[in-house]
Structure 1
Amino acid sequence: MEPNSNGRILIVDDEANMCQLLETDLRLRGFRSAWRTSAGDAIELVKTEDFDVVLTDLRMRGMSGTELCERICANRPDIPVIVMTAFGSLETAVAAIRAGAYDFVTKPIEMELLAITLARAVRHRQLQEKVKLLSEGTTQDDQFQEMIGRSPVMTKLYDQISRISTTEAAVLVCGESGTGKELVAQSIHRLSNRRNGPFVPVNCAALPEALLESELFGHAKGAFTDAKAERRGLFLQAESGTLFLDEIGELPLAMQPKLLRALEESRVRPVGGDQEVPFDVRLVTATNRDLLTEVEEGRFREDLFYRINVIQLDIPPLRARGTDTLLLAQRFVDQAAKRSHREVVGISDPAAERLLNYSWPGNVRELRNIMERAVALTPFDKVAVDDLPEKIRDYRSSQVFIGGDDPSELVPLQEVERRYILHVLGTVENNKTLAAQILGLDRKTLYRKLKQYGVSD
Structure 2
Amino acid sequence: MTTRALCDADIVFVDDDADLREANVQALQLAGLRATPFASAAGVLESLTPDFAGVVVTDVRMPGMNGIELFRAIRALDPDIPVVLISGHADIAMAVEAMSEGAYDFIAKPYAGPRLAETLRRALEKRALIIENRRLRAMATADEGAGALVGETPAMVRLRQTIHHLADVDVDVLVLGETGTGKEVVANLLHRLGRRRAKPFVALNCGALPETVIESELFGYEAGAFTGAQKRRIGRIEHSSGGTLFLDELESMPVSAQVKLLRVLEAREIAPLGSNELRPVDLRVVAATKVDLASPAARGEFRADLFYRLNVVTLRLPPLRERRRDVPLLFAHFLARAARKYGREMPKLDRSVERHLVENDWAGNVRELVHFAERVALGLGEAAPPIGATTGRPGQSLPDRLGTIEANLIREALEAHGGDVRATVEALGIPRKTFYDKLVRYGIERAAYEKER
Give the TM-score normalised by the residue count of structure 1. Answer: 0.51
Residues 293, 299 of structure 2: 8 Å contact kept: no
SS of match in other structure, 1:221: coil
Code of the residue aligned with 1:389 in structure 2: it is A
Deviation of 1:348 after TM superposition, in Å, equals 2.7
Deviation of 1:225 after TM superposition, in Å, equals 2.2
Quote the RMSD (CA, aligned, Å).
Answer: 2.6
- What is the match of residue 107 of structure 1? none
Structure-to-structure mapping, 1:125-136, within 5 angstroms: none
Q: C-alpha offsets along residues 242-296 of structure 1, whole Å, 9 cap, x if unaligned?
A: 1111111111112111110111111111111121211102111010012123567
Q: Give 2:386's match in structure 1, choosing from 386, 391, 395.
A: 391
Question: Aligned residues, how many?
Answer: 250
Q: Give 2:182's match in structure 1, choosing from 180, 183, 188.
A: 180
SS of match in other structure, 1:245: strand
Structure-to-structure mapping, 1:11-410, within 5 angstroms: 141=142, 144-146=145-147, 147-294=149-296, 298-378=300-380, 383=381, 387-391=382-386
Structure 1: state its 5+ residue gaps.
Answer: 1-137, 395-457
Code of the residue aligned with 1:168 in structure 2: it is D
Residues 355, 392 of structure 1: 8 Å contact kept: no
Residues 295, 301 of structure 1: 8 Å contact kept: no
Residues 219, 270 of structure 1: 8 Å contact kept: yes
Deviation of 1:342 after TM superposition, in Å, equals 3.7
Percentage of identical aligned residues? 42
Q: Distance in 2 between matches of 1:361 and 1:268?
A: 40
Q: Distance in 2 between matches of 1:347 and 1:393?
A: 26
Indicate the larger mover: 219-228 or 344-353. Answer: 344-353
In the TM superposition, structure 1's runs of 4+ consecutive aligned residues that sit over 6 Å from their partners are none
Residues 173, 310 of structure 2: 8 Å contact kept: yes
Q: Distance in 2 between matches of 1:175 and 1:343?
A: 34
Code of the residue aligned with 1:144 in structure 2: it is G
Q: Distance in 1 between matches of 2:341 and 2:299?
A: 46
Q: Distance in 1 between matches of 2:246 and 2:215?
A: 15
Deviation of 1:159 after TM superposition, in Å, equals 1.2
Code of the residue aligned with 2:247 in structure 1: it is L
Query: Cα gap change, 1:245/1:343 in structure 2, threshold over 3 Å: closer, same or farther?
Result: same
Residues 338, 374 of structure 2: 8 Å contact kept: yes
Indicate the larger mover: 265-274 or 352-361. Answer: 352-361
Q: Distance in 2 between matches of 1:296 and 1:281?
A: 27
Code of the residue aligned with 1:301 in structure 2: it is R
SS of match in other structure, 1:372: helix
SS of match in other structure, 1:178: coil
Residues 295, 302 of structure 1: 8 Å contact kept: no
Q: C-alpha offsets along residues 434-455 of structure 1, whole Å, 9 cap, x if unaligned?
A: xxxxxxxxxxxxxxxxxxxxxx
SS of match in other structure, 1:274: coil
Q: Distance in 1 between matches of 2:313 and 2:264?
A: 19
Deviation of 1:315 after TM superposition, in Å, equals 0.5
Q: C-alpha offsets along residues 102-135 of structure 1, whole Å, 9 cap, x if unaligned?
A: xxxxxxxxxxxxxxxxxxxxxxxxxxxxxxxxxx
Deviation of 1:176 after TM superposition, in Å, equals 0.5
Q: C-alpha offsets along residues 190-247 of structure 1, whole Å, 9 cap, x if unaligned?
A: 2222122211111111111111111011110111222111011111111111111111
Q: Distance in 2 between matches of 1:143 and 1:227?
A: 38
Code of the residue aligned with 2:145 in structure 1: it is F
Q: Distance in 1 between matches of 2:347 and 2:278?
A: 57
Code of the residue aligned with 1:365 in structure 2: it is R
SS of match in other structure, 2:209: coil
Query: Cα gap change, 1:164/1:393 in structure 2, threshold over 3 Å: closer, same or farther?
Result: farther
Residues 175, 316 of structure 2: 8 Å contact kept: yes
Q: Distance in 1 between matches of 2:363 and 2:250?
A: 21
Structure 2: state its 5+ residue gaps.
Answer: 1-138, 390-453
Q: Distance in 1 between matches of 2:144 and 2:342?
A: 28
Deviation of 1:139 after TM superposition, in Å, equals 11
Q: C-alpha offsets along residues 407-429 of structure 1, whole Å, 9 cap, x if unaligned?
A: xxxxxxxxxxxxxxxxxxxxxxx
Q: Distance in 1 between matches of 2:241 and 2:348?
A: 44
Indicate the larger mover: 196-205 or 174-183. Answer: 196-205
Query: Cα gap change, 1:347/1:312 in structure 2, threshold over 3 Å: closer, same or farther?
Result: same
Code of the residue aligned with 1:390 in structure 2: it is P
Deviation of 1:341 after TM superposition, in Å, equals 3.8
Code of the residue aligned with 2:312 in structure 1: it is V
Code of the residue aligned with 1:322 in structure 2: it is R
Deviation of 1:321 after TM superposition, in Å, equals 2.0
Deviation of 1:163 after TM superposition, in Å, equals 1.8
- What is the match of residue 106 of structure 2? none
Residues 318, 364 of structure 1: 8 Å contact kept: yes
Q: C-alpha offsets along residues 313-358 of structure 1, whole Å, 9 cap, x if unaligned?
A: 0001112223321222223333333444444424334522321222
Code of the residue aligned with 2:321 in structure 1: it is R
Query: Cα gap change, 1:310/1:281 in structure 2, threshold over 3 Å: closer, same or farther?
Result: same
Code of the residue aligned with 2:272 in structure 1: it is P
Query: Cα gap change, 1:392/1:336 in structure 2, threshold over 3 Å: closer, same or farther?
Result: farther
SS of match in other structure, 2:164: helix
Residues 172, 309 of structure 1: 8 Å contact kept: yes
SS of match in other structure, 1:202: strand
Deviation of 1:306 after TM superposition, in Å, equals 0.4
SS of match in other structure, 2:386: helix
Q: Distance in 2 between matches of 1:312 and 1:391?
A: 35
Q: Distance in 1 between matches of 2:269 and 2:240?
A: 13
Query: Cα gap change, 1:169/1:190 in structure 2, threshold over 3 Å: closer, same or farther?
Result: same
Query: Cα gap change, 1:139/1:359 in structure 2, threshold over 3 Å: closer, same or farther?
Result: farther
SS of match in other structure, 2:295: helix
